[in-house]
């Protein structure tokens, strides 16, 4: 009996000891406690009884058990932008339409990227650069920058990209932008030297447009481009949407960019506006100035325009095809156009009516080079002097949007007053781009230029021989020389004199007729931040974020 009593006492003492130890075994300060669970702990002890039969003593004790919470999935963020036309070309070295900047400047990157003025490039793939003399630039690449495949960017990729630009030449715009470059050479894996043909005051402002491409995936660049930019290409379903996804390895993580950036083409501007109001899209591109009053009353929407515009509307004439291979007829068109009526009724007084390709906000602008009022009688006289029998039959090619067909009707009326018979052909933008802009199969057309703020950027690709925006096929050696002379000096006052001489020549040759400067309208949802519109008329997409 005594033995049994001592055994029970020992068991009791053991239980007391266990009860004091168990709480102390739990973590004193758990980091995350989502909930407390009550659990029964079974403590077993073999007890020897007199009959030498083993029995189990069960003791129940409630203790706290720590359950670590599973983090909730991160909510995906996205920004949806819409414009009136679909993307056209994914290859950054071959793009012709400004709409393609959505992929061009998001998927790809270069030595630098644009600042809001387009005048002072910001370091991007190059963390710094030197100019040891007037014709040499040395760029120091960031180490560890990777293509979207995971391969590191090196100087070899920069040289490959440059060789490709030279090979493509007139099939794209980049060679024209970088026409000052004589050669590029590798100094080491992270250093590239650019040698210029002559001193250039404008070379640096074009460097953001020189996209670095991946030599290992170049065969798929037209369907699945690979770059080093802040977004990776995911998919493009033509006439439906294009999706980019965040590049988490992009060097600059100072902006909380969205997980997805989506482009949706919506042709009708009222449909674009409705999609913005309902939250289907966050940013609506190129809405007509006619909607300005309506946009001012839309809650939760802010309208953005460039502070300084390098966009302008024009009439282009193919100077290599009849009848506009005749300079007198081109001059007649310039005199006959009623800019004020087009400006008021088509552009709702957005911008400024002007014949001078340099806007009044530019340091190179000369107000003395503005044209006088419309002069129908003088235009008729020039038509008579041209020697071309009237009526002169022409086809005016325009693309379909909210403005161009309406503008074309006024132009048609103006030109028929002076002896032309005008047929208007309205085409889908993609067809117009291929036939008119790329193949130059037209007599007369209308378009909008969206250029750079510097006078060289504003005009060189438009008027210089063989460059991408010279749809008129215009060729004048005198202005070629003047453009080169203007770039060769860093003295702004001297440069202005050269550009004013260029303006005098092109106003006389009249390969195009400027109608008015434009301030493109980009209304955006207040749920997104970082929105600013470049002088060329498109936003800096990769600075945007969801608030």
Cβ(163)–Cβ(210) below 8 Å: no
Please report which helix (H) or strand (E) contains residue 36, including its range: strand 36-43
Instruction: Give the model confidence (pLDDT) of 453-507 as tens digits.
Output: 999 999 999 999 988 899 999 999 999 999 999 999 999 999 999 999 999 999 9
> End-to-end distance of the chain based on CA atoms, in angstroms?
80
- Helices marked H in 61-119 — which ranges? 101-107
Instruction: Give the model confidence (pLDDT) of 169-184 as tens digits.
Output: 777 788 888 989 999 9
Q: Name the residue among 541, 358, 319, 352 with its Cα closest to residue 457.
A: 358
Listed in sequence order, the residues at least 6 apart from 99 whose beta carbon sits closer than 8 Å to its beta carbon are 83, 85, 86, 87, 88, 285
Kindly report, as residue ranges, where domains of CATH 3.40.190.10 are found in the chain: 77-108+229-306+524-547
Listed in sequence order, the residues at least 6 apart from 239 whose beta carbon sits closer than 8 Å to its beta carbon are 86, 265
Kindly report, as residue ranges, where domains of CATH 3.90.76.10 are found in the chain: 111-216
Kindly report, as residue ranges, where domains of CATH 3.10.105.10 are found in the chain: 311-518
Domain range 311-518, CATH class: alpha beta
Q: Is the dihedral of CA 48, 50, 51, 55 positive or negative?
A: negative
DSSP-derived 3-state class of residue 383: helix
Q: How confident is the model at residue 21 (pLDDT cuts 50, 70, 90)?
A: very low
Residue-level pLDDT at 178: 92
Instruction: Give the model confidence (pLDDT) of 312-363 as tens digits.
Output: 999 999 999 999 999 999 999 999 999 999 999 999 999 999 999 999 989 9
DSSP-derived 3-state class of residue 8: helix
Q: Is the pLDDT assigned to residue 10 strictly greater than 70?
A: no
Instruction: Give the model confidence (pLDDT) of 262-281 as tens digits.
Output: 999 999 999 999 999 999 99
Q: Is the pLDDT assigned to residue 149 strictly greater than 70?
A: yes
Residue-level pLDDT at 70: 60
Q: Per residue, what are the HEC states of 13-30?
A: HHHHHHHHHHHHHCCCCC
pLDDT: which is higher, 117 or 234:
234
Residue-level pLDDT at 71: 60
Q: How confident is the model at residue 146 (pLDDT cuts 50, 70, 90)?
A: very high
**For residues 191-206, average pLDDT:** 96
Cβ(510)–Cβ(331) below 8 Å: yes
**For residues 257-264, average pLDDT:** 98
Residue-level pLDDT at 36: 41
Domain range 77-108+229-306+524-547, CATH class: alpha beta
The chain-wide mean pLDDT, for the chain, equals 88
Residue-level pLDDT at 72: 64
pLDDT: which is higher, 113 or 51:
113
Instruction: Give the model confidence (pLDDT) of 211-257 as tens digits.
Output: 999 999 999 999 999 999 999 999 999 999 999 999 999 999 999 99
d(CA 333, CA 319): 13
Domain range 111-216, CATH class: alpha beta
Residue-level pLDDT at 171: 76
Instruction: Give the model confidence (pLDDT) of 494-518 as tens digits.
Output: 999 999 999 999 999 999 999 999 9
Q: Is the pLDDT assigned to residue 4 strictly greater than 80?
A: no
Q: Name the residue among 93, 450, 78 with its Cα closest to residue 231.
A: 78
């Amino acid at each position: 009996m005594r033995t049994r009593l001592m055994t029970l006492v020992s068991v009791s003492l053991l239980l007391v000891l266990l009860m004091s130890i168990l709480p102390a075994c739990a973590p004193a300060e758990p980091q995350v406690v989502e909930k407390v669970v009550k659990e029964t702990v079974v403590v077993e002890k073999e007890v020897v009884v007199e009959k030498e039969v083993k029995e189990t003593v069960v003791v129940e004790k409630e203790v706290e058990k720590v359950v670590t919470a599973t983090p909730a999935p991160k909510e995906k963020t996205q920004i949806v932008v819409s414009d009136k036309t679909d993307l056209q070309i994914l290859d950054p070295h071959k793009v012709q339409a400004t709409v393609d900047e959505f992929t061009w400047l998001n998927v790809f990157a270069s030595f630098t990227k644009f600042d809001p003025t387009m005048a002072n490039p910001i370091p991007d793939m190059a963390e710094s650069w030197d100019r040891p003399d007037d014709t040499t630039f040395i760029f120091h690449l960031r180490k560890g920058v990777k293509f979207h495949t995971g391969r590191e960017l090196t100087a070899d990729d920069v040289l490959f990209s440059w060789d490709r630009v030279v090979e493509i030449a007139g099939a794209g715009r980049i060679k024209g932008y970088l026409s000052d470059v004589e050669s590029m050479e590798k100094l080491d894996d992270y250093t590239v030297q650019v040698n210029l043909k002559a001193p250039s005051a404008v070379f640096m402002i074009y460097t953001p447009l020189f996209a670095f491409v991946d030599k290992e995936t170049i065969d798929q660049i037209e369907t699945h481009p690979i770059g080093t930019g802040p977004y990776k290409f995911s998919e493009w379903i033509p006439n439906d949407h294009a999706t980019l996804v965040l590049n988490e390895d992009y060097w600059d993580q100072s902006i909380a960019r969205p997980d997805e950036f989506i482009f949706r083409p919506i042709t009708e501007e009222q449909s674009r506006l409705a999609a913005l109001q309902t939250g289907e899209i966050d940013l609506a591109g190129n809405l007509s100035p006619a909607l300005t009053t309506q946009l001012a009353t839309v809650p939760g929407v802010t309208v953005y325009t460039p502070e300084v515009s390098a966009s302008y509307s024009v009439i282009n004439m193919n100077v290599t095809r009849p009848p506009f291979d005749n300079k007198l007829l081109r001059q007649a068109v310039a005199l006959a156009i009623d800019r004020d009526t087009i400006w008021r009724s088509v552009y709702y007084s957005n911008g400024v009516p002007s014949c001078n390709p340099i806007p009044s906000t530019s340091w190179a602008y000369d107000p003395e080079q503005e044209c006088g009022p419309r002069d129908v009688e003088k235009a008729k006289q020039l038509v008579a002097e041209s020697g071309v029998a009237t009526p002169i039959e022409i086809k005016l090619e325009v693309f379909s949007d909210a403005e161009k067909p309406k503008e074309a009707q006024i132009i048609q009326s103006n030109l028929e007053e002076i002896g032309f018979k005008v047929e208007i052909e309205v085409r889908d933008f993609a067809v117009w781009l291929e036939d008119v802009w790329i193949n130059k199969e037209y007599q007369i057309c209308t378009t909008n230029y969206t250029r750079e703020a510097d006078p060289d950027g504003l005009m060189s690709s438009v008027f210089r021989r063989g460059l991408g925006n010279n749809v008129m096929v215009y060729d004048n050696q005198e202005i070629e020389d003047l453009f080169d002379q203007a770039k060769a000096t860093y003295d702004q006052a001297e440069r202005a004199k050269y550009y004013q001489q260029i303006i005098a020549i092109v106003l006389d040759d009249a390969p195009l007729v400027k109608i008015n400067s434009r301030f493109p309208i980009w209304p955006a949802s207040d749920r997104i931040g970082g929105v600013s519109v470049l002088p060329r008329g498109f936003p800096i997409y990769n600075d945007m974020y969801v608030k």
